[in-house]
Structure 1
Amino acid sequence: MEYKVLVDSCGELTEEMKESGIFTSVPLSILVENYHIVDDESFNQGEFIKIAKESKECPRSACPSPEQYMDLFKGEEKRVYVVTLSSNLSGSYNSANLAKQMYEEEDGEKEIHIFDSNSASVGETLIALKIRECEERGLDFAALVEAVESYIEEQHTYFVLEDLDTLRKNGRLTGIKLLVASALNIKPILGSTPEGTIQQLGQGRGINKALQGMVKKIIPEIKNSSSKILAISHCNCKERALQVKEMILKLTKVKEVIILDTRGISTMYASNGGIIVVI
């Protein structure tokens, strides 16, 4: 293999991606009370949701160490690409960059690039797939980096969550004045900024109204939809994800649709019932 793509575990991999030999998930970990949960193939979503619900403490995440990344840089591949969740939401990007510096000081033969997704979850998935597409088109390293960075700038991330506690308590909603009236069942519609922080785009009374409102925000933002992949991740609510897919496809055509259940870090932040849409 001439290249490989490392995706931190906030990004979900499809079964095809796992089997391809190109993509590797770099696990973050979750800390809650006495539990240290590694976000790898051993992650049990149902068990974690139960632990988090019963815990008086807010779950916290820990990013991969530079040493973890450095170990994965090794191998016969000439080019290594890394995709991390937004640097404004995690230290994963900085950790990967430090690993790159350390590796290049020791070796320096490989071409390595760290992509800050400015997103999370299936946003990372789509970026990883874009890297493979550019490699298969035969782009050289510099041209590929430029093309993928441009793709990241065009990407949009949207989400509606049942519970915002973990995001808020971990400081991920700083600067957002959310109108969350629990008695009225108000659900905010959230999205990414170009810098990879979180902004409020609207709200709806009840989850269904919020999801409908999210779809209305998504459609005008899609350019050249027939060439785009629509990616939806859900936390333990596949039927809800399928409903969102149908709502979007009634209004626009896309090249492909990917629906994935959230991995550990995305489960921690999205909480039970959360929906994330990236296109």
Structure 2
Amino acid sequence: MSYKVIVDSCGELTEQMKESGRFVTAPLQLQVEDHIITDDDTFDQAAFLKLVAESPECPKSSCPSPESYMNSYHCDADHVYAVTLSAELSGSYNSAVLGKNLYEEEYGEKQIHVFNSRSASVGETLIALKIQECEEVGMEFEQVIEQVNAFIDEQHTYFVLESLDALRKNGRLTGIKALVATALNIKPVMGSTPEGTIYQLGQGRGMKKALTKMVDSVVAEVIHPEQKILAISHCNAPERAEAVRKMIQEKIQVKDSFIIDTRGVSSLYASDGGIIVVI
């Protein structure tokens, strides 16, 4: 059976994933004032960060249309999976589900499943890799869905950002009490809830202390780390990402790890210098 995995562009694809031909991206659109940027292979992180830094307005994002998802489902693969940003943070999941309904009205039944990652960025990447792992060992479509849903239930997402402005101004921090003034250089340590919303885990005075607190949370909460892949994405901060990987791997043994640059949507919300960890 052939399969295809569609990942919305908040999820980063590794080079191996791109080369495999199994994974495609459903691009979101980014807007900085009058500039409309498609979050695809043409995305230029440095140019985008410069635009954001020079703009008094907060950048915005918009999810792929149901039609674009429908077109992605229209392919030769027997099994088609979509992995989207947390449904609590974006309309991408609903759009992907509507796209499935449109596809079935237009072309008839097909084995298509949409996964709500309840995460973002490399959380989506790990879910897409889990789908590949299940498919490659020959699991049935329903088995893949069951295994991947169990994987999502166990997954944890953490992040520390230089600025929470983009998340706050775009309404992604609803329900979080007022965060400490940045004048004190307090950096909140954030995480994802089981439902896929964002909450505050703790905080540190300065980036270094906040990252240490994040690492402590990762280590305290992980179950069976030796069976898991540690994934880290960063927005223009490769050395910081490497330092975080080293701190985590000094405390726990993982099956594998990788570090990747954030694509457009994650760059928008993580802001320059942000670090996202998923395990």
Partner of 2:211: 211
Write the distance in 2 (CA, Å) between the matches of 1:41 and 1:183. 37
Match of 2:142? Answer: 142
| CA deviation vs aligned residue, 1:229-251 (integer Å, no higher than 9, x gap) | 00000000000000000000000
Q: What is the CA–CA distance in structure 2 between the aligned matches of 1:188 and 1:72, rounded to whole Å?
A: 38
Cα distance, 1:139 vs. partner?
Answer: 1.1
Unaligned 5+ segments in structure 2 are: none
Contact 2:81 / 2:114 at 8 angstroms: preserved in 1? yes
Could you tell me how far 1:178 is from its partner in structure 2? 3.9
Q: CA deviation at 1:184?
A: 1.7
For the residue of structure 2 that corresponds to 1:48, the secondary structure is: helix
* Runs of at least 4 residues off by over 6 Å: none
Q: Is the CA contact (8 Å cut-off) linking 2:161 and 2:270 kept in structure 1?
A: yes
Percent identical across equivalent pairs?
A: 63
1:148 match: secondary structure: helix
Alignment pair present for 1:28 and 2:23: no
d(CA) in 2 for partners of 1:242 and 1:33?
A: 33
Question: In the alignment, residue 183 of structure 2 is paired with which amino acid?
Answer: A
Partners of 2:67 and 2:102 within 8 A in 1: no
Please report how far the alpha carbon of residue 221 of structure 1 lies from its aligned counterpart in structure 2 after TM superposition.
1.0
Equivalent residue, structure 2, for 1:103: 103
Q: Distance in 1 between matches of 2:94 and 2:31?
A: 20
- 1:158 equivalent to 2:158? Answer yes
- Alignment partners' CA distance in 2, 1:65 and 1:158: 28
In structure 2, the partner of 1:133 is 133
Output one character per residue of 1:175-219: Cα deviation in whole Å (capped at 9) or x when no partner: 101432222210000000011000000000000000000001110
Distance, in Å, in 2 between the alignment partners of 1:190 and 1:139 is 35
Alignment of 1:66-81 (within 5 A): 66-81=66-81
Distance between the aligned counterparts of 1:263 and 1:99, measured in 2? 23
CA contact (8 A) 1:173 1:198 kept: yes
Q: Is the 8 A contact 2:191 2:198 kept in 1?
A: yes
Matched with 2:45 is 45
The alignment partner of 2:251 has SS state of coil
Residues 179 and 186 of structure 1 are in contact (CA less than 8 Å); yes or no, is this contact kept in structure 2?
Answer: no
> Aligned letter for 1:273?
G
CA contact (8 A) 1:59 1:268 kept: yes
The CA deviation at 1:108 is: 2.5
Aligned position for 1:83: 83
CA drift at 1:109: 3.5
1:12–1:124 CA contact under 8 A, matched in 2 = yes
Counterpart of 1:265 in structure 2: which amino acid? V
Q: How large is the Cα RMSD of the aligned pairs?
A: 0.8
SS at 1:250 equivalent: helix
Q: Write the deviation string for residues 88-119 of structure 1: whole angstroms up to 9, x where unpaired.
A: 11100000000101111222232000000000
Aligned-partner SS, 1:75: coil
Q: Output one character per residue of 1:132-190: Cα deviation in whole Å (capped at 9) or x when no partner.
A: 00011211111110110110010000000001100000000111014322222100000
- Secondary structure in structure 1 of the residue aligned to 2:171: coil
Say whether the 8 Å CA contact 2:10–2:85 is kept in structure 1.
yes
Q: Answer yes or no: is 1:18 the counterpart of 2:15.
A: no
TM-score, length-normalised on structure 2? 0.98
Q: CA deviation at 1:220?
A: 1.5
Alpha-carbon distance between aligned partners in 2 of 1:58 and 1:229, rounded to the nearest angstrom? 34
Partner of 2:269: 269
Residues of 2 paired with 1:124 and 1:187: CA distance? 25
Deviates more, 1:97-106 or 1:117-126: 97-106
The code of the aligned residue for 1:15 comes to: E
Whole-angstrom CA distance in 1 between matches of 2:32 and 2:106 = 36
SS of residue matched to 1:276: strand
Counterpart code for 2:258: I
Paired residues, number: 279
